[in-house]
């Protein structure tokens, strides 16, 4: 009778140890995922800033081109070729 109780307790202890190992592995995976997500969020933030800067550059260039085309008469822009 005592042996049965000891065997049962040992089986339960083994099951708990396996559960603990599974939980530790799961925890480690989650830690790695969080680290990777943090890195990706930082990279996305950098890319957003870069895109904002490029958007400003393009808007500025477009504005300059529009101002130039408003200021230039079409006859001034066309250069006749020599024949």
Q: What span, in angstroms and rounded, lies between the C-alpha atoms of 18 and 21? A: 5
**Which carries the bigger pLDDT value, residue 82 or residue 2?**
2
**Residue owning tokens 């990706």:** 40
Domain presence at residue 81: no
Q: Record the tokens describing residue 72, joined without a space.
A: 């230039």
**9 pLDDT tier (thresholds 50, 70, 90):** very high
Q: How many domains are contained in the chain?
A: 1
Domain presence at residue 80: no
pLDDT tens-digit readout, 16-42: 999 999 999 999 999 999 999 999 999
The range of the structural domain enclosing residue 33 comes to: 2-68
CA end-to-end span of the chain:
116
pLDDT tens-digit readout, 44-82: 999 999 999 999 999 999 998 888 877 765 555 566 666
pTM higher than 0.75: no
């Amino acid at each position: 009778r005592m042996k049965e109780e000891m065997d049962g307790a040992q089986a339960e202890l083994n099951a708990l140890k396996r559960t603990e190992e599974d939980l530790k592995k799961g925890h480690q995976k989650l830690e790695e995922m969080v680290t990777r997500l943090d890195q990706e969020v930082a990279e996305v933030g950098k890319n957003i800033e870069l895109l904002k800067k490029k958007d400003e550059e393009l808007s500025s260039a477009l504005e300059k081109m529009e101002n130039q085309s408003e200021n230039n008469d079409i006859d001034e822009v066309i250069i006749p070729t020599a024949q």
